[in-house]
Amino acid sequence: MKVSFDLLRSESPGLFEDGCPTRAVLDHVMSKWGVLVLMALTDGTRRWGELRRTVDGVSEKMLASTLRTLTADGLVTRTSYPEVPPRVEYALTPLGEELMERMMPLMAWIGDNAAGILESSRGR
Partner DNA sequence: CGGGATCCGTTTCGATACTG
Partner DNA sequence: CAGTATCGAAACGGATCCCG
Q: Which residues bind a copy of itself (CB under 8 A)?
A: 2-6, 8, 11-12, 15-18, 20-22, 24-27, 29-32, 35-36, 39-40, 42-43, 54, 56-57, 69, 72-75, 95, 98-99, 101-111, 113-121, 124
Sign (positive/negative) of CA torsion 25, 26, 27, 28?
positive
Distance CA 43, CA 36 (A): 12
Amino acid at 108: A
Binds 77: which of a copy of itself, DNA, none (CB < 5-8 Å by kind): none
Nearer to DNA, 102 or 122 (CB): 122
Nearer to DNA, 31 or 42 (CB): 31
Residues in contact with 93: Cβ distance below 8 Å, sequence separation at least 6, in sequence order? 74, 75, 76, 77
Q: What is the binding site for DNA (CB under 7 A)? A: 31-33, 47-49, 57-62, 64, 67-68, 78, 80, 85-88, 90
Binds 92: which of DNA, a copy of itself, none (CB < 5-8 Å by kind): none
The secondary structure of 57-98 as a DSSP string is T--HHHHHHHHHHHHHTTSEEEEEE--SS-EEEEEE-HHHHH
CB atoms within 10 A of CB 22: 14
Nearer to DNA, 1 or 84 (CB): 84
Binds 120: which of DNA, a copy of itself, none (CB < 5-8 Å by kind): a copy of itself
